Amino acid sequence: MRIDRRQALLGTLAFGLGARAGAQMPPPAVRDSRPLVAPDPTETIELWPGGAPGAPTTLPVEAVRERSTDPAYNDRIVTGIARPRLVVFRPDRPNGAAALITPGGSYERVVIDKEGYELARLLAQHGVTAFVLFYRLPGEGWAAGADIALGDAQRGVRLIRWRAAEFRIDPARVCAIGFSAGGHVCADLAARFGSRIYDPVDSADRLSARPDAAAPIYPVVSMSPPLANARSRERLIGADASPALERAHSPHLHVRADSPPCFLLHAEDDDAVPAANSLLLRDALMSKSVPVETHLFPDGGHGFGIRLARGTSAEFWPELLLGWARYRGLWS
């Protein structure tokens, strides 16, 4: 299935005529007492206007913790996300492209600075409207269980398309980018964008959740040992998950012929998520004749984001991503 541009444009027209999906509300505080190196964005889109579906009896309480002791940068993690949302980074000169960013965190937290805001600011400098997804976590009692983050990602893509006119976005130029466990969300979205994870809540859900391209960065892919990241696997499907459950949540086993073109990147000395995860996904994409570009670096480890890649062979990966996106016609 390819994106029906007319369908997407119809959605943005409907938005312009007055329908409003994913209303903007003041974001919950995502800071502690430590000063911010760069101001947080103030524009936030709630994913679920009537509250997130399948909520537990007692909602999780959102909390933020600063991990950095260096005054030069922030490195916050967020848990207890009960109000999943998109945090918007608007460029001064939009080029019509959009990016949905899903940070990592082993499915037990969301790493908002290192694998979210830092990339979003860089993309905005290049004219891309970036949306950092604060997705719900599978171990916090939501009815959708292991599919909870995928459902939020699907909804995020649909809302970006629904509000494309407002953000001066081409609804057929939406890229998904994710890191580590967020790379699993990204890969899962590329493979299972058509799965019905939640019941439609408004007209935005008539639009496709298929990203036009996807870039899982050092992604968790396999849920089967020995390649599975043990912590992500336990948080997502449980330490004693059956082989059937492992297969259900291993994106490379669900790649489709109409999955979007992908950009894969991994360090070969990654001791947390073996680079073989990216190779599994690459092989699956190639078997379906889905275009894929793959970059393997001899060093860099895991979780390097942008800042921690400096001084390693992976240092210039953002330039590779930008070049790939231009080649694919996503970003000018």
Taking only the tens place, the pLDDT of each residue in 107-123 is 999 999 999 999 999 99
* Torsion angle of the four alpha carbons 271, 275, 277, 282, in this order, in degrees rounded to the nearest 10: 170
Percentage of the chain exceeding pLDDT 90: 86
Q: What is the pLDDT of residues 127-143, one digit of tens each?
A: 999 999 999 999 999 99
Task: Locate 63 and state its tokens.
Answer: 């909390």
Residue 76 CB neighbour total at 10 angstroms: 23
Q: What is the pLDDT of residue 30?
A: 53
Which amino acid, one-letter code, is at 229? N
Is residue 251's pLDDT more than 50? yes
pLDDT value at residue 75: 94
Say what the pLDDT of residue 305 is: 97
Rounded alpha-carbon distances, angstroms, from residue 101 to 228, 241, 302:
22, 28, 18
In angstroms, rounded to a whole number, what is the distance separating the alpha carbons of residues 297 and 62? 36
**What pLDDT shows up at residue 31?**
53
CB 30, CB 113: distance < 8 Å: no
Average pLDDT of the chain, as a whole number? 91
pLDDT tens for each residue of 264-319: 999 999 999 999 999 999 999 999 999 999 999 999 999 999 999 999 999 999 99
Angle of helix 181-192 relative to helix 230-237, nearest 10 degrees, comes to: 60
Tell me what the mean pLDDT of segment 316-326 comes to: 97
User: Of 281, 261, 269, whose CA–CA distance to 220 is shortest?
Assistant: 281
**Helix, coil or strand: residue 127:** coil
pLDDT for position 32: 58
**CATH class of residue range 5-327:** alpha beta
* Mean pLDDT score, 250-269: 98
Q: How many of the other CB atoms lie within 10 Å of CB of 237? A: 21
User: What would the two tokens of residue 325 be?
Assistant: 């996106």
Q: Which two tokens stand for residue 229?
A: 């990241």
Tokens 């480890």 correspond to what residue? Answer: 301
pTM: 0.91
Q: For position 206, what pLDDT does the model report?
A: 97
Q: Which amino acid is present at 169?
A: I
Q: Which range, of 3-7, 15-19, 102-106, 117-121, averages the lowest pLDDT? A: 15-19
What number is the average pLDDT over the span 7-30?
44
How far is residue 165 from each of residues 12, 15, 99, 200, measured CA to CA in Å?
6, 8, 15, 22
Which token pair is 104?
């990592």
Strand (E) positions, the chain? 44-46, 63-66, 76-79, 85-89, 98-102, 110-111, 129-134, 174-179, 213-217, 262-267, 292-297
d(CA 14, CA 163): 9
What would the pLDDT profile of 46-71 be if each residue is shown by its tens digit? 999 889 999 999 999 999 999 999 99
Of the pLDDT bands very low, low, confident and very high (cuts 50, 70, 90), residue 35 is: confident
Is residue 104 classed as helix, strand or coil in its secondary structure?
A: coil
